[in-house]
């Protein structure tokens, strides 16, 4: 059994509930070759030439710096602007780079060769709901006996009111499963400040003070941080790699 107390930051640093990417975006870049012994580089088009179509970029000479590039043939460039671009090269290809966010970090997802293809990739990765999955079924091995008994007790109180703790337990009696509906997700400080007026540490303390076992508090936090809405614990379900397992 893993009984080490972990802070929210420690828990969220590696969240096994996180799937897919958030905040997907597309950026048009150009692939530039220059000096013979230097590898190609990617640059964005300077804002003053952002209106140029792809055909007006590919196979045209350019000037560039560490941040952007300008097509130098057939385009009027003010002297004061051109002075900021000291390197010269040739645009070999236009690419549309797709990036996404996971665990608050930006990741390069892939390069496509037209805006239409890039938009199609973003659509496929985003799904119709904008979320990879908001319902999970995991093994009851991820809960201590204390946490299981607590869930059984809460789920069996048919006449009890809402917990007021941003989760509501329920029972799946035909399969011996227990579940929680998570409310107000994701449980980030930013979102909780909007809906509750306080950060996650306050919600966590309220849950603990109300008698919610720490093992359950931790699992609910990770799920809610990944914007899960329904979390089911089933003795026959698979374990989730990376999530604490209790062998009581």
Residues 212 and 154 placed together within one structural domain of the fold: yes
Q: Say if 14 falls within a structural domain.
A: no
Q: How does DSSP classify residue 166?
A: S
Last residue of a domain, one of 107, 126, 145: 126
Q: Do 66 and 138 belong to one domain?
A: no
| Local confidence pLDDT in tens for the 248 residues of the chain | 444 566 676 665 678 888 778 889 999 999 999 987 789 999 999 999 999 999 999 999 999 999 999 999 999 999 999 899 999 999 999 999 999 987 778 999 999 999 999 999 998 887 655 555 689 999 999 999 999 999 999 998 766 678 899 999 999 988 889 999 999 999 999 999 999 999 999 999 999 999 999 999 999 999 999 889 999 999 999 999 989 999 75
User: In this predicted structure, what is the pLDDT of residue 36?
Assistant: 79
217 shares a domain with 155: yes
Q: Which of 106, 126, 146 is the last residue of a domain?
A: 126
Whether residue 12 is contained in a domain is answered as: no
The predicted pLDDT at position 173 comes to: 81
* Whether residue 165 is found in the same domain as residue 80: no
Q: Which of 108, 117, 103 has its CA nearest to residue 25?
A: 108
Q: Are residues 107 and 146 in the same domain?
A: no
| Domain span including residue 187 | 133-234
The stretches of 24-141 forming alpha helices (DSSP H) are 79-82, 115-126
| Domain edge (last residue) among 80, 109, 126 | 126
Q: Please, which residues have CB within 8 angstroms of residue 43's CB and are 6 or more apart in sequence? A: 29, 30, 32, 64, 67, 68, 69
Residues 6+ apart with CB under 8 A from 27: 44, 96, 97, 99
Give the separation between CA 217 and CA 59, rounded to whole angstroms. 57
pLDDT at residue 13, rounded to an integer: 64
Question: Quick one: pLDDT at residue 126?
Answer: 77
Q: Which helix (H) or strand (E) holds 220?
A: helix 214-225
- Which residues contact residue 193 at a Cβ distance below 8 angstroms, ignoring those fewer than 6 apart? 199
Count how many domains the chain has: 2
Q: What is the pLDDT of residue 109?
A: 93
- The answer on 106 and 155 residing in a single domain is no
Q: What is the distance between the alpha carbons of residues 77 and 66, in angstroms, rounded to a whole number?
A: 18
Same domain for 105 and 160, yes or no, is: no
**What is this structure's pTM?**
0.65
d(CA 106, CA 22): 9
2 lies in a domain?
no
* Contact call for residues 98 and 117 (beta carbons, < 8 A): no
120 and 85 share one domain: yes
Q: What is the bridge-based pairing of β-strands 61-64 and 135-139?
A: unpaired
Please give the pLDDT value at position 248: 53
């Amino acid at each position: 059994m893993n009984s080490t107390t972990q802070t929210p930051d420690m828990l969220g640093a590696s969240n096994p509930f996180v799937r897919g990417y958030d905040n997907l975006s597309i950026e048009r870049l150009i692939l530039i070759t220059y000096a013979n012994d230097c590898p190609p580089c990617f640059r964005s088009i300077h804002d003053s030439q952002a209106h140029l179509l792809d055909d007006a970029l590919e196979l045209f000479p350019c000037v560039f710096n560490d941040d952007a590039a300008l097509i130098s043939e057939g385009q009027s460039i003010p002297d004061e602007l051109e002075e900021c671009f000291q390197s010269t090269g040739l645009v070999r290809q236009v690419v549309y780079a797709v990036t996404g966010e996971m665990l608050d970090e930006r990741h390069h997802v892939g390069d496509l060769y037209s805006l239409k293809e890039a938009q199609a990739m973003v659509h496929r990765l985003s799904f119709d709901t904008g979320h990879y999955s908001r319902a999970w079924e995991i093994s009851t091995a991820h809960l201590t006996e204390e946490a299981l008994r607590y869930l059984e007790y809460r789920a069996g109180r048919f006449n009890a009111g809402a917990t007021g703790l941003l989760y509501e337990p329920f029972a799946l009696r035909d399969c011996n499963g227990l579940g929680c509906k998570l409310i107000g997700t994701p449980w980030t400080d930013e979102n909780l400040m909007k809906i509750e007026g306080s950060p996650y540490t306050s919600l966590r303390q309220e849950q603990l003070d109300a008698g919610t076992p720490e093992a359950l508090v931790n699992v609910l936090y990770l799920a809610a941080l990944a914007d899960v809405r329904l979390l089911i614990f089933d003795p026959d379900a698979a374990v989730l790699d990376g999530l604490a397992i209790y062998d009581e």
